[in-house]
Amino acid sequence: MLLNDTKIQNNIDEFVETHGVEGFFRVYFREYLFQLLNEEIEAAANDPESDSALQLHFSQNVNTDQELEEFEE
């Protein structure tokens, strides 16, 4: 079920009324940290050769936009 902007705003407002702004940010950042850690854990199992962002990060051969386009291809 997709929520529209009004429903989302109402849900946030109700949560803030119940738990306060601090409670909202506590849950928000807890979820953010969970997602970040989960990505790091999953990344450890991935083959670095399959990660183009990692290859780009460690590549010394990408200096121009043309080289970047060739690398992305």
Contact 50, 42 (CB under 8 A): no
- Opening angle at CA 19, ends 31 and 26, nearest 5: 25
Helices (H), 1-73: 5-45, 52-58, 65-72
The residue type of 44 is: A
Measured CA to CA, the distance from residue 12 to residue 10 in angstroms comes to 5
pLDDT tier, 36 (very low <50, low <70, confident <90, very high otherwise): confident
Whole-model pTM?
Answer: 0.46
Contact 48, 54 (CB under 8 A): yes
Query: Is residue 6 predicted with pLDDT exceeding 70?
Result: yes
Higher pLDDT, 45 or 17: 17
